[in-house]
Amino acid sequence: MEYNYIKSLHLIFVITWFAGLFYIVRLFVYQIEATKKPSPEKEILGAQFKIMAKRLWYIITWPSMVLALFFAIWLISMRTFYLTDAWMQVKLVFVVLLIAYHIKCHLIFKQLQNDVVKHSSNFMRLFNEGATIILFAVVFLVTLRNAINWIYGVVGIIAFSIVLMLGYKFYKRLRER
């Protein structure tokens, strides 16, 4: 019974972690686009987006990541036999990728807080899909576990990524009209 409570808390913080990651990158898009606006709009929007990003990042996203990982470790300590399952090993690879994505977001966050813009808003829109791909992979992996054929799973994730990229290019063309 305790396991289900810990699992519920883990899922809640995974959801809020992903929500924070999805929204922070949207704020990056808005911050970058604000730098192209004329004064005083540029300064007003820039200051507001910095405040929003800072609150989201430090009050929601970072704590959610820490708590999601804390409860994940607790869950694994309760069911260590999962570590020998192939699906769990692959899931942990995706978790490492998500942590790397989070750290990259943190570096971009720090740059934008210091008015350093190294990426375009279009790059950020595409970058935002990284968390989406990881989310899809982990959900299908955990849901299907041993029923999933790894080759089809990998091909499916690659195909999904290609569809996302094509959708982005189509959206970009529509915006430019």
Q: Could you list the pLDDT tens digit for every one of the 177 residues in the chain? A: 899 999 999 999 999 999 999 999 999 999 999 999 999 999 999 999 999 999 999 999 999 999 999 999 999 999 998 899 888 998 999 999 999 999 999 999 999 999 999 999 989 988 998 898 888 888 888 887 765 566 677 677 778 888 888 887 888 788 877
Buried b (16+ CB within 10 A) or exposed e, 80-97: eeeeeeebbebbeebbeb
Q: Which whole-number Å values give the CA distances from 36 to 5, 49, 79, 135, 175, in the listed order? A: 48, 14, 52, 32, 16
- The CA–CA distances, whole Å, from 73 to 9, 10, 93, 140, 157 equal 12, 10, 15, 21, 26
The reply, when asked if residue 36 is annotated as ligand binding, is no
Position of tokens 């994940």?
A: 72
Residue corresponding to tokens 């992979």: 137
Is 91 annotated as ligand-binding?
yes
- Whether the CA torsion 65, 7, 144, 81 is positive or negative: it is positive
* Nearest partner of 133 among 173, 101, 161, judged by Cα: 161
